[in-house]
Each structure stands twice: as structure tokens, then as C-alpha cells.
Structure 1
Amino acid sequence: MRLNVGIENILVNVMQFGAHGDGTSDDSQAFASAWDSACNAGGMSTLVVPAGQSFMVTKLNFSGPCTAQINIQVLFFHACNNLIVRNLEISNSPQSHVCVNMCNGATFSHISINAPATSPNTDGFDISDSSNILIQDSNIKSGDDCIAVNGGCSFINATRVTCGPGHGISVGSLGRSGERDTVSDVYVQNCTFIETSNGARIKTVPGGSGYAKHITFDQIILQNVKNPIIIDQNYGVDNEATNVEVSFVTYRGFRGTSASDVAINLVCGPSIDSTCKNAHGTVTNTIPNVSGLTN
């Protein structure tokens, strides 16, 4: 099965097959019928799911082989449970190729994503407010993050993913526009980065709050990667304090080559100080040191 974004031929709209899009009616049969029509069309067909409407579907199985090359407009998974997506080729999306939002339990396997290195904002996977997401055995070429793990995510696993070109696998940006963002329990293992601008990246924006914790990058292969390991807590802004806490981060089993002299770049915010006035009490083991109180 092959998916291309942005090429039109035969348009197959789910509304033509009885979908309601009102957020309450069961549109499963309409989606199944539209898929069958698109799959069995000659040449190339485009499956259209109109924007601005909510479709309720359950237990759908979109499968091939198809006689047509399938084209899908905007591949966005919202509020899905126990989703399985496999054996797809996706090319040249105008923005993120696969968006995952408010999903619990999803497995993506054997996904091939292909976009030029010069294409802006073309994340391979853009994940937010989701948990228990697995991306495995996939190849991602993009002009932005191969996988972006955004706020509200937990238990995200990427294994046997090849990334490049692209910006690497990123946790963040967190704290954008002063928001409180949280990410925990991200495990990236047995992944390969080929000539990417970053490898294992965590990025937070000054002014926001929240945390990124229990992040593990394990058994990583690097081929001419500019920033193999990078934590940037001043992302987009220099010398401003960040309130997004980064903790319990593990890097294990990295091997390969760096395209720059700085293979490990940890920018954990500017230096901070303390000031006390008319304060009384004791302090123990603080960073920074609190002057004026008894240690």
C-alpha cells in the first residue's frame, strides 16, 4: 500500500458514502465503503476526510492489496485507542506526515516517510497528549524532526527506526508560549541517525514550565550527525531562565561519527543565583548556594 499526500486524481469522499461527521453517529461503515471504492479504483485515488468535522469510527481495517495508488488528504489520528497502522509509504506532506493526538495505545510499524531535507515543518511523526505509542521498523526522511514528542506524552517507544535526513528524534519543544508541558517515559532504542542535524535531542523553551523525565536513548548508531546528543533548554532564545525541568535522562550505547567537534552539547539554561533579605532558617545542599542562611 502506498500513500502520497498532495496528488489528486479520483476523489473519494467519505461523505458520499453516508458519513455524518457530527461526532456522535457511527461512521465506520461509510469509511469502510469509501476505502473499498478508493482501493479498487484504477490508477490513483484520493480518500478525502473533510476537515472541520468529527467522525466516530470503531474497529476499522483498511487493508490491501489495492489496484489503485491510494492518496490520503491529511493523515491525523485523534482520540484513537488501540490503533494499528502498518506497511505505509507517505511522501511529501505539506506539513507533518503523521499526527497523533489524544491517543492511547497505538502501534506504527513498517512506515516509510520521504520528504526532502529542505522541506520546512515536515515532521515524520508529531505526537502530543498521547500515551503508549510504539513506532517500530520504520524509515523516516524529512526536513524536520523524524519523531517529535510533544507535551502531554508518556510511554512513547521508538525502536529500529532509521532517521535521515532530518532533525533527529526530539522531545519537545516544551514550554512554548509559556505553557506547562510534561513528558515522561520515552524510550528510544536500536535507532540509526544518518546525516541528521541532531540525534537524541531534548528541547525546552524559556518562559514555560513542566518537565521532561525518564528519557532513555539506548543503542544508537550515528553516521555523520551534527549534534549526536543535545539538550537545549534555551531553544529559540538565548540566556533566559527555563522552568521546564529535565531529569532522569539516560544515554547508553552510542557509537558512530559526529559531523561537528562537539558531540555532546548540554545547554541546561543560564546560571542562576539566590538572594536573601530578612530571611531566617537553615538550608542544605542547594543549587545555587543560598547565602545568608546557615548551612
Structure 2
Amino acid sequence: MDYGALGDGTTDDSNAISNAWQGMCGEEEPATLLIPSNKIFLVKRLNLNGPCKAPNVGIKIFYVNGLTIEADGGIIDGNGSTWWEKCRTCRRPTSLRFHSCNGLTVKSLSMSNSPGAHISVNGCNGALFSHININSPPKSPNTDGFDIANSKNIVIQDSTLATGDDCIAINGGSSYINATRLFCIGGHGISIGSLGRNKSYETVEEVHVQNCSFIGTTNGARIKTWTGGSGYARKIMFEEIILQDAKNSIIIDQYYGIKTPSEKTINLNCSPFGCFNITLDQIYIVSSKSSKHVYAFCKNIVNGTIGSTVPKVSCQ
């Protein structure tokens, strides 16, 4: 509003928002552009360009319904290498955050080198992300492609996600999440969780991952929970998955946070309470090194169904 926006829903506020962006970019200290939630802004074609002097520019979009973002060339570069080098253990900013945004559409967006996660989706109902291209080094710490929490009816499709952490992390309070036709390169694969940290109660359900490729990832399909937590992760399906040089292909880890290195390509390590109704079928995984064998481990599976699998899975 300081730059002349009226927010009446009929006046073109594009120039005011563009000028506010440039003002933020000119700051010497970390800066945030705030667009008030109690106004209606008419925006036509809007280009938000850098470079910025501000050392930390995060894009936060809160409480906006029916928003469509369709990028036309260009890239959001988080310049994360300065953060990775000086602060590997501190909490680093997310490049693009959507909070309580319903009916969201984001298309043809390219991002790289986020200090932390690239895209955060929190408290949203109904979102479509398509043709998203994320490119960060495989050793960049905690650079998740998508962090999803407390959200439902989220679709991520037709995208390439090269990261240093989870390609997609689906956290507590999330349901009806669909990921399809994705290339996950480097990083840690697609993960449910982690759930139940600090003995919390968390739930995830109705997740469908289909026709996705994991290339050079540490993990493929993964569910991870902390000991002492409660809740459930249920109605989760991974199908039509292609693995190429993935180390740990299929994992259920109910001891997350406890260092248990494993070379097992299928590792279903459930707590004494058990994992229920797990189905494994039409799985064929061999080592990319001809001299090496692949192994499976399975513990505390209750009422599970094991069909055709290579390697063979035998539960304790």
C-alpha cells in the first residue's frame, strides 16, 4: 500500500506491487514483501526480477484462494551455497511458501539452490503443481523439493526434482496426496514423514505415488516414524516405480533417528506393535553392480501379503 496500491479489485495494482518488490530487493537487510490479506488486488502481467541486495528474500503466500502461478522462463535461484557452507545445522529459509491457500495452481516453475526446502505447502486444500523443475546439488543439506504438511488434495505431476534431501516429504496432517510422472534425482526419494517426533500424534493417509523414477537417490519409497510417537500412516501406495542406482529402494523405518545403517534394498523394520496389511508384489530389483547381491529384511509385519518379489522377502 505504501507504493500506491489501492486493493479495490478494479484498479490495476501491477506497478505498485512491482515497485514494492524492487524496494524490498534494494534493502541491505533480510526483507519480506507483505501483500495485505484484507484487500483484493488486480494484477496483470507481473515480472518479479532480481538480483536483490537483500541477503534473504523468501516468497511467502498466505491465505490466497484460487491463485494461479504460471512462470514463463526464468528461474528462482535461492543462492543457497552461502547458507550450506556457513550454517549446515541451523534452520535455513524456504524459497517459496504457500500457507492456507486453497485451489492453488503452479505451472512451469524452475527453481534452484534453495537455502532450505524449495517449496512448502502447509494448511492447503486443493493444489496442482505441474512441470516444476528443481535443480540443487545432491549434497546440499535439507533442500527438500516439496515439504507438505496439514494439507489435502495435493497433486504433483510431470516434474523433475533434483535435490539434496527428500524429493517430496509428506508430513503429518496430510491426505489425498498424488505424485505422478516424476523424476527424482539425487536426494532421499519420496518420504512419508518423519512422523511422531517428540512423542507427537500425527497422521498421513491416502497417498498415491505412481509412475515415478528414482535416479541416484539414497532412498526410493520410504515411510519413517520416530519411536514413542503415535497416530497412523495408512492407505499408501507406490506403484510403477523405476529405480536406477538407488541405494535403499523400499523402506519402512519405525526407528527413525536411531542410527541403523543398512545395505538392504528392501528394509521393513517395524516396531513390536507391528505394521499391518503391507502388500509387496511385482517387485524386481537387482544390483547395478554385477558382483553384488541385493537383500531384503522384514520384521513385525502383521497380516501382510508377499507376492512376486526379487529379492525374496521373508518376514520375522
Partner of 1:11: 22
Encode CA deviations 1:61-87: one digit per residue, 9 max, x unaligned.
444546x76668830011111111110
State the AA in 1 paired with 2:174: C
8 Å CA contact retained: 2:76, 2:112:
no
Superposition pairs of residues 229-268 of structure 1, within 5 angstroms: 229-237=250-258, 246-255=275-284, 257-258=286-287, 261-266=293-298
SS at match of 1:25: coil
State the AA in 2 paired with 1:26: K
Structure 1 position 36 matched with structure 2 position 34: no
More relative contact order in 1 or in 2 (CA 8 Å, sep 6+)?
Answer: 1
Encode CA deviations 1:222-277: one digit per residue, 9 max, x unaligned.
111111111111111269995987444444544454467445444659xxxxxxxx
State the AA in 1 paired with 2:186: P
Q: How far is the alpha carbon of 1:90 from its aligned partner?
A: 0.6
Encode CA deviations 1:58-115: one digit per residue, 9 max, x unaligned.
444444546x766688300111111111101110001010101011111111111111
Where structure 2 has 5 or more consecutive residues not aligned to the other structure, the ranges are 1-20, 26-32, 79-93, 261-268, 302-316
State the AA in 2 paired with 1:11: Q
8 Å CA contact retained: 1:207, 1:242:
no
User: How far apart in 2 are the matches of 1:143 and 1:195?
Assistant: 11
Partner of 2:196: 175
User: How far apart in 1 are the matches of 2:215 and 2:63?
Assistant: 39
Partner of 2:155: 134
CA RMSD of aligned residues (A): 3.5
8 Å CA contact retained: 1:230, 1:265:
no
SS at match of 2:95: coil
Partner of 2:130: 109
User: How far apart in 1 are the matches of 2:96 and 2:273?
Assistant: 30
SS at match of 2:46: helix
8 Å CA contact retained: 1:206, 1:241:
no
- Counterpart of 2:38 (choices 20, 25, 49) is 25
Q: How far is the alpha carbon of 1:207 from its aligned partner?
A: 1.1
8 Å CA contact retained: 1:146, 1:163:
yes
Where structure 1 has 5 or more consecutive residues not aligned to the other structure, the ranges are 1-9, 270-295
Encode CA deviations 1:117-136: one digit per residue, 9 max, x unaligned.
11111111110111111111
State the AA in 2 paired with 1:25: N
Q: Which structure has greater strand proportion?
A: 1
Q: Percent identity?
A: 47
State the AA in 1 paired with 2:214: F
Moved over 6 A (4+): 238-241
Partner of 1:122: 143
- Counterpart of 1:57 (choices 40, 59, 64) is 64
TM-score, with structure 1 as normaliser: 0.71
User: How far apart in 2 are the matches of 1:244 and 1:49?
Assistant: 42
Superposition pairs of residues 273-292 of structure 1, within 5 angstroms: none
Count of residues in Structure 1 that have an aligned counterpart in Structure 2 = 247
8 Å CA contact retained: 1:96, 1:123:
yes
Partner of 2:181: 160
Flag the 1:250–1:135 CA change in 2: closer, same or farther, 3 A. Answer: farther
Partner of 1:93: 114
Flag the 1:236–1:219 CA change in 2: closer, same or farther, 3 A. Answer: same
Partner of 2:208: 187
